[in-house]
Structure 1
Amino acid sequence: MRMKSFAIVAALALSTAIAGCSSIGMQMFTNDYGAVSDAGYQLPRIPIEKVPMKYHRQEVNYDSSERPGTIIVDTQNKFLYFIEGDGRAIRYGIGVGREGFEWHGTAHIALKREWPTWTPPSQMIHRQPELAKFAGGMEPGLKNPLGARAMYLFNKGGDSGYRLHGSPEWNSIGKAMSSGCIRLMNQDIIDLYDRASVGAKVIVL
């Protein structure tokens, strides 16, 4: 009987500890990767169970002197942070530029587009001639490399050529395989797009 009582007390203590952590620790959004109907497009469910949990969207403790609304991209660890303030941030898993295409610096969001057209740069067409058919732009859609949303990054020199964008290739998250842009799962870029404002500061580490 004494052991049973101890087990009950231990269970209650554990549940209290978990509840305490959830109020000051992280909130997971793992259930937010289901099928989505958006602007006439039917985004399929992401098999999120196949994506390492650290790359699932979640609220985390994150100390930063940057103002709320700032975006910080940690290319080494493949995370993007949207600063909320008070030591908190929403963290997203990302895919980054492969070797030779990495970049870092400070920019700002100049434009935001839902279901954008993708136009491959001339340098990319030179490397991949089969993309020449999209020189005039690839129509929006489920196979478009920019996915459901794109945010265009400008710096002091104007258009940096880099984007924060969605991707139909959910299995590229956590990897370095893009041409320099920062890619997120489509359900995540929709969430980030709704949080981020034109003019927001973007820091790429």
Structure 2
Amino acid sequence: MSGGLPGICRALIARTARRPVRALACALLLPLALGACVTTSNEPAPAPAPSIAPADAARYGGLEDGGFHIPGVDPAEIKPRNVRQVVDNPTGQPPGTLVVDPKNRFLYLVQENGKALRYGVGVGRAGLEFSGTAAIGYKREWPSWRPTDAMIAREPSKYRPWAGGMAGGETNPLGARALYLFQGGKDTLYRIHGTNEPWSIGEAVSSGCIRMMNQDIIDLHRRVPDGAKVVVLPG
């Protein structure tokens, strides 16, 4: 609508002195004319689109496993870079090797033909990281957990209540699976494990271990055998 007022009103107002009744009628009709220019809708605003493809989102849905329920991860909270995906192998390591890149928050399972399966991970806070070459000493489903003595000394109020250990389950911080890293036949006390805090993937928040979404650690757990080589790059 150009010129501010409907054309009929401009014409009528121009003749106000001669035809006051028509001017009054225009004034009464003006709100209706202006109202016709406003679009209203009672339809709710559309939900924000997920940040990842539907096929990828389906991989992170809820599931039942070992008598426990694993909640689905909200697709809107998963960054596309953290979705499990096949990429060109950037590690230079042979097939079957696990490579953890703390700086970029990725874990790679090296495959054949120059490819690698990449997972988004959460890593240790500054000063708590592990780096070097290790091997998977053993694997566990729904592992129990006990804080290390160093963890208890560092944050006693948080960890001392669990000094006796916590059974595996939905609230256990190791999540649905754990891979135990050994060097020279000795436990390093570092793990690659699941988490019930999927928001932490892509962050540096743990006490040194490598954490993955539960759906991803279940996938990795069934792909790698005991004894597999693990290379953790410097952070």
Q: TM-score, normalised by structure 2?
A: 0.73
Find the counterpart in structure 2 of residue 175 from structure 1: 203
Figure out how many residues of one structure are paired with residues of the other and give that number: 178
| Sequence identity percentage | 51
1:49 is matched by which residue type in structure 2?
A: A
Residue in structure 2 matching 1:34, options 54, 61, 64: 61
Please say if 1:45 is aligned against 2:62. Answer: no
* 8 A contact 1:30–1:57 mirrored in 2: no
List runs of 5+ in structure 2 lacking aligned partners: 1-54
2:174 is matched by which residue type in structure 1?
A: L
Please say if 1:197 is aligned against 2:225. Answer: yes
Find the counterpart in structure 2 of residue 100 from structure 1: 127
* 8 A contact 2:130–2:190 mirrored in 1: no
List runs of 5+ in structure 1 lacking aligned partners: 1-27
Residue in structure 1 matching 2:118, options 91, 102, 105: 91
State the shift of 1:157 in Å: 6.1
Find the counterpart in structure 2 of residue 78 from structure 1: 105
2:208 is matched by which residue type in structure 1?
A: G
Partners of 2:111 and 2:59 in 1: CA distance:
19
State the shift of 1:63 in Å: 4.7
Find the counterpart in structure 1 of residue 214 from structure 2: 186
DSSP-derived class of the 2:174 partner: coil
Partners of 1:96 and 1:185 in 2: CA distance:
12
Please say if 1:143 is aligned against 2:171. Answer: yes
Q: TM-score, normalised by structure 1?
A: 0.83
* 8 A contact 1:146–1:167 mirrored in 2: yes
DSSP-derived class of the 1:85 partner: coil
Residue in structure 2 matching 1:155, options 183, 203, 207: 183
Find the counterpart in structure 1 of residue 155 from structure 2: 128
Partners of 2:155 and 2:195 in 1: CA distance:
19
DSSP-derived class of the 2:170 partner: coil
DSSP-derived class of the 1:194 partner: helix
Residues 106/116 of structure 1: CA separation in 2 closer, same or farther (3 Å cut): same
CA offsets 1:106-161 (integer angstroms, 9 cap, x no match): 00000100000000001111222232221121111111110000000001261111
Partners of 1:43 and 1:171 in 2: CA distance:
15
How large is the RMSD of aligned CA atoms in angstroms?
1.3
Partners of 1:92 and 1:64 in 2: CA distance:
14
1:67 is matched by which residue type in structure 2?
A: P
1:34 is matched by which residue type in structure 2?
A: G
* Displacement over 6 Å in runs of 4+: none
1:163 is matched by which residue type in structure 2?
A: R
CA offsets 1:63-103 (integer angstroms, 9 cap, x no match): 55422211011110000000111111110000001011122
* 8 A contact 1:29–1:58 mirrored in 2: no
Which stretch of structure 1 is more off in the superposition, 166-175 or 131-140?
Answer: 131-140
Structure that is richer in strand per residue: 1
CA offsets 1:164-198 (integer angstroms, 9 cap, x no match): 00000100000001111000000000000010110
Residues 63/132 of structure 1: CA separation in 2 closer, same or farther (3 Å cut): closer
Structure of higher RCO (CA pairs closer than 8 Å, 6+ residues apart) = 1
Find the counterpart in structure 2 of residue 10 from structure 1: none
